A = this chain, B = another copy of it.
Amino acid sequence: MARFGILTSGGDCPGLNAVIRGTVLQGTGVYDHEYVGFRDGFRGLVYGDAMDLDRSVVRGISQQGGTILGTSRFGPYVEPDGGAAAMRASLERLGVDGVIAIGGDGTMAAANRLLGDGIPVVGVPKTIDNDLEATDYTFGFNTAVEIATEAVDRLRTTGNSHKRCMVLEVMGRHAGWIAMYAGVAAGAHAILIPEQPESLDQICEWVTSVRDRGRSPMVVVAEGFRFPDMDQAHSHKGMDGFNRPRLGGIAELLAPLIEEHTGIETRATVLGHIQRGGVPSAWDRVLGTRFGQAVSDLVADRDWGQMVALRGTDIVRVPFSAAVGNTKTVPLEYYRGSRAIFG
C-alpha cells in the first residue's frame, strides 16, 4: 500500500484545508492510499514531524480557513538542518513514498530541486495573489476578492457621507489581480497595481475629476504599487527633516499626499491579514477539492514533477519547469480597458 505525505508551505490561504481533504478522501477512497501530513511546511519534512491523516481527521475541514497542518516559510535547502539527505531520511523513517507540496512559486522551485535530488514529489499551486502563469486561477484568490469587494462597498458609504476620498490597500506584491477584481466589482474610480506605475499627478487628476462630477473618489491600491516620485514624496513627509524607512503600507503613504495635492479629505484603510483568513468561499472550496482529488490521481500515477492546474473548467497537469518563475501579471490592455468603466 502506498503512503504519501502532504505539506503546506508559505502564507496561509483559504482553501488549503479543502485541498488536504480532497486529496485524502479521494486517495483513500479510490486508491487505498495512506496519507500523513508534515507539520509546518518543509520543517515537518526535514525533521520528520508528521501526523496521520485518515478520513476522520479531514472530515468537515473544508469550511475552515488556514491549514490544519500548519505552515511556515522554512526553506528546505536554506535552513541549517535541511537538505535532501535529511528529507530522504524522514521519508524512509515514516515509510512515505512521495511528497505532495502545496505552495507558491518558491515552494514549487524547492519541489523542483527535491525532484532533481531524486525525491518523488508533486505540486499544488497556492498563491492568494493569483499570479501563477500555469493556472487560470488559484484557490484563495476568490475569497480575498470577495472580502476586498465588501470592504470597498462599506468604505464607499462613508466616503459619500463625508465627501471624502477613500483609499483601500489590498494584497498584491507583484501582480494586481485582487485590486483589479475588487476594484472592478465594486466600481472603484482608480485602481493602482504593481504592473503599471502612475504618477501622483495622474492619480490626483483622477481623484479631482471624480469629485468634480459630485462623487466621492474611491481608490483601490495593491500593496506592491509604486509611483515614480514615491521616495521623494515619502522623505518629503518627514517632519524632522530626516529620511527614514517607510512605515505602514502604500495606502498610508498615498492618502496624505492625495489630500495635500487635491484638498480633498482622504482616508486610508489597509485590509491586511483579514483577506487571507476565515471561512473560504464556496468557489475556493470547490477548486481546492478538485485540486486535491487531482493530485491524488497524480501520485497514484507516480507522475512526479507535475503540478495540478486549472485550465478553463478542466484540471490539468503541468511540469514544474513550466510552473516555476512565470509570474502572471495583469495585462496592460486589461488594465487600460478597465479604465473605460471608471464611472
CB distance from A147 to the nearest CB of B (A): 8
Tell me whether A66 and B160 are in contact (CB under 8 A). yes
Tell me whether B21 and A341 are in contact (CB under 8 A). yes
Tell me whether B337 and A293 are in contact (CB under 8 A). yes
Tell me whether B26 and A65 are in contact (CB under 8 A). no
Tell me whether A245 and B252 are in contact (CB under 8 A). no
Tell me whether A181 and B59 are in contact (CB under 8 A). no
Give complex CA distance A156, B273 in Å: 10
Evaluate whether A161 and B252 lie within 8 angstroms (CB atoms) in the complex, with A184-B285, A340-B293 already known. no
Binary contact track A31-57/B, C-beta < 8 Å → 1, others 0: 000000000100000000000000100
Which residue in chain B gives the minimum CB-CB distance to A67? B161
Tell me whether A162 and B72 are in contact (CB under 8 A). yes
Point out the residue from B22, B70, B269, B283 that lies within 8 Å of A145, measured CB to CB: B283
Which residue in chain B gives the minimum CB-CB distance to A59? B343
Tell me whether A25 and B343 are in contact (CB under 8 A). yes
Binary contact track A294-329/B, C-beta < 8 Å → 1, others 0: 000000000000000001110000000000000000
CB distance from A57 to the nearest CB of B (A): 10
Tell me whether A71 and B162 are in contact (CB under 8 A). yes
Point out the residue from B12, B63, B341 that lies within 8 Å of A289, measured CB to CB: B341
Which residue in chain B gives the minimum CB-CB distance to A65? B157
Evaluate whether A278 and B153 lie within 8 angstroms (CB atoms) in the complex, with A59-B187, A136-B312, A273-B269 already known. yes
Binary contact track A56-99/B, C-beta < 8 Å → 1, others 0: 00111011111100111000000000000000000000000000
Binary contact track A204-236/B, C-beta < 8 Å → 1, others 0: 000000000001000000000000000000000
Tell me whether A286 and B341 are in contact (CB under 8 A). no
Point out the residue from B161, B281, B343 that lies within 8 Å of A146, measured CB to CB: B281
Binary contact track A136-150/B, C-beta < 8 Å → 1, others 0: 110000100111111
Q: Which residues of B contact A311 (CB under 8 A)?
A: 312
Tell me whether A277 and B22 are in contact (CB under 8 A). no
Give complex CA distance A151, B65 in Å: 12
5 CB < 8 A contacts A-B: A136-B313, A142-B283, A154-B279, A269-B272, A271-B274
Binding site for B on A (CB under 8 A): 8, 11-12, 16, 18, 21-22, 25-26, 29-30, 40, 55, 58-60, 62-67, 70-72, 136-137, 142, 145-151, 153-163, 166, 181-182, 184-187, 215, 239-240, 242, 244-245, 247-248, 252, 267-274, 276-279, 281-283, 285-286, 289, 293, 311-313, 337, 340-341, 343
Could you list 11 further interchain pairs (A-B, Cβ under 8 angstroms) beyond the known A18-B185, A55-B343, A269-B273?
A26-B341, A58-B343, A65-B157, A70-B162, A72-B162, A142-B283, A153-B277, A184-B285, A239-B244, A248-B252, A270-B270
